[in-house]
Amino acid sequence: MNRFENKVALVTGSTQGIGAACALRLAADGADIILNGHSPKDERSEKLIQQIEGMGRRAAFIQADVGKVADVTKLINDAVSTFGQLDILVNNAGVEKNHDFWDVTEEDYDYVMDTNLKGVFFGIQAFVKYCMSTNRGGVVINMSSVHEEIIFPHFAAYCTSKGGLKMLTRNLATELAPLNIRVNNVAPGAIATPINKKLEETPKLMENVLKNIPMKRMGKPEDVAALVAFLASDDATYVTGSTYFVDGGLTYHYEEQ
Ligand SMILES: NC(=O)c1ccc[n+]([C@@H]2O[C@H](COP(=O)([O-])OP(=O)(O)OC[C@H]3O[C@@H](n4cnc5c(N)ncnc54)[C@H](O)[C@@H]3O)[C@@H](O)[C@H]2O)c1
C-alpha cells in the first residue's frame, strides 16, 4: 500500500518497541522515515534503516533528547532538512518510573514530565511553526496511554504526563484545525515491549494484568502501529482531537468475579 507516497514521517523514540513498529509500518505504507533516539545511532537503528530502505523508502536517524526543548526543536528542524519536508509527527518517546508517591523526587518527576509532556508540547510547537512558514498541513499523533484515563498507583508522574497529553490534544485540535493540522492520541494498553520486560518476566504480575484484559493477551507493537498508520492517513482526514484506545478491551473492562 502506498498511502504515504511523498510523505515524510518523524517517529520519536523509534529504536525499539512501539516506535520501531510505527516506523516500519509507516514505511511499509509508503512514507520516508526519520528515526530518533536519545543515544547515538546503534545497530538497532542501522537494522531499521536497512529494513526501511529494503522497502524502497528513505530513512535517516537523528539523535536528540526530546526531553530538552532546544533538542526537540532542533530535531524537528533537522528532520525537515533531511528529506526537505515533514508531514507526520509521531510523538512516541516516553518513559515511566515506579515509585510510591511519597518517594518521588523532583528529578524523577522532571525526567517523566519532560520526556512525556514538555518535549511533546514544544516538539509540536516547532512542527506547527514549520507548517505555518511553508503553508502546509500536517498530522500529529501522540503516544499516550490507557493511563491518560485510568489510574496506575505508584506511577503518579506517568499518569500526570499522559493526562496532560489528553488535554493538550483536545486543545490543539481546535486551535490547529484552521491550519489543517490534525492532532490525535493513541492510547495503548499492555503492549509487549522492553518497557514491560519486568512484567513479562514475572508470572504473578502477568496473571494479574491479564485478568483485566478481556482479550487475555498483551498487545503487539504492530497492533499499535496499525492504528497510528490509520490516523496518519487520509482515511482519517475528519478525525482530530480524540484518543483511540488499542488495549484489548482493558480500559472499559468490568466483570463480576
Ligand atoms: N508498552 C506499553 O505497554 C505501553 C502502554 C501504554 C503507553 N505506552 C507508550 O508508548 C510509548 C513507547 O513505549 P514502548 O513500550 O515502546 O517503550 P520502550 O521503552 O520500548 O521505547 C521507548 C523509546 O523512547 C526512547 N526515549 C526515551 N526517552 C527519550 C528521550 N528523552 N528522547 C528520545 N527518545 C527517548 C527510548 O530510548 C526508547 O527507544 C511511550 O510513550 C509509552 O509511554 C507504552
Average pLDDT, the chain: 97
Question: DSSP assignment, residue 212?
Answer: T
Catalytic site residue 158? yes
Q: Are strands 59-63 and 32-37 parallel, antiparallel or unpaired?
A: parallel
Q: Is the CB of 67 within 6 Å of ligand 1?
A: yes
Host H or E run for residue 35: strand 32-37
At 175-195, the pLDDT tens digits run: 999 999 999 999 999 999 998
Residue 210 scores a pLDDT above 70: yes
Distances in whole angstroms, Cα of residue 22 to Cα of each of 50, 90, 107, 125? 15, 8, 30, 22
pLDDT at 129: 98
**What are the two backbone dihedrals, phi and then psi, of residue 175, each rounded to the nearest 5 degrees?**
-70, -30
Question: What's this model's pTM, rounded to 2 decimal places?
Answer: 0.98
What per-residue confidence (pLDDT) applies to 115?
98
142 lines ligand 1 (CB under 6 A): no
| Cα–Cα dist 242/257, whole Å | 32
pLDDT value at residue 82: 98
3-state secondary structure at position 247: coil
The strand pair at 32-37 and 138-143 is best described as unpaired
Dist CA 73 CA 64 (whole Å): 9
Measured CA to CA in angstroms, residue 234 lies from 20, 30, 227 at distances of: 22, 13, 13
Local confidence band at 256 (pLDDT 50, 70, 90 cut-offs): confident
Residue 15 has a pLDDT of 98
> 83 to each of 47, 57, 68, how far by Cα in Å?
20, 11, 23
Q: Which of 138, 130, 127 is nearest to 4 (CA)?
A: 138
Q: Which member of 109, 111, 130, 158 is catalytic?
A: 158
Which among 133, 157, 147 is positioned nearest to 85, based on CA atoms?
Answer: 133
> Is residue 1's pLDDT more than 80?
no
Strand blocks (E) in 50-198? 59-63, 88-91, 138-143, 181-188
Those residues with Cβ within 8 angstroms of residue 171's Cβ, 6 or more apart along the chain or in another chain: none
Query: Which of 193, 196, 210, 227 is the pocket-test mutation for ligand 1 (most atoms within 8 Å of CB)?
Result: 193
* Rounded-to-integer distance, Cα 105 and Cα 61, Å: 33
Pairing of strands 88-91, 59-63: unpaired
The answer to whether the CB of 65 is under 6 A from ligand 1 is yes
